[in-house]
Amino acid sequence: MYNTLLRPTVEWIQNDYHAHRLRFIMELVAWALSIGCAVVMAGTVPNPPLVALYPAWITSCSIYAWCAWSRRSLGMLANYLLLVTIDGVALARLFLYTSA
């Protein structure tokens, strides 16, 4: 059963790791950051710590953008660059409105 269900997935993960180790590790870092942000957001609604979450989320999206570029994935690159832009503007607005 392992050979039928999991072996192709495990081999795919191993191949991805061996093809570009840095990208593989950075994707895991970005994934952990994004999951961490989602858990903190869910656990702190209705008053999430946006000053802490936005930089972590933007960092995660920036890492994912680099990973997408290194994979030559235009759709993912465009998506993550747009998220970095949108959330960068939101972070700037957050600082402007909280300091006023």
Query: So what's the pLDDT on residue 100?
Result: 64
Helices 7-19, 21-44: inter-axial angle, 10-degree rounding: 110
Using CA atoms, how far apart are residues 22 and 81, in angstroms rounded to an integer?
20
For residue 86, the enclosing domain spans 2-99
Let me know: does 24 contact 58? Beta carbons within 8 Å. no
Tens-place pLDDT, residues 45-63: 999 999 999 999 999 999 9
- Tokens representing 19 are 């093809």
- Give the total number of structural domains in the chain: 1
Entry pTM: 0.89
Let me know: does 88 contact 72? Beta carbons within 8 Å. no
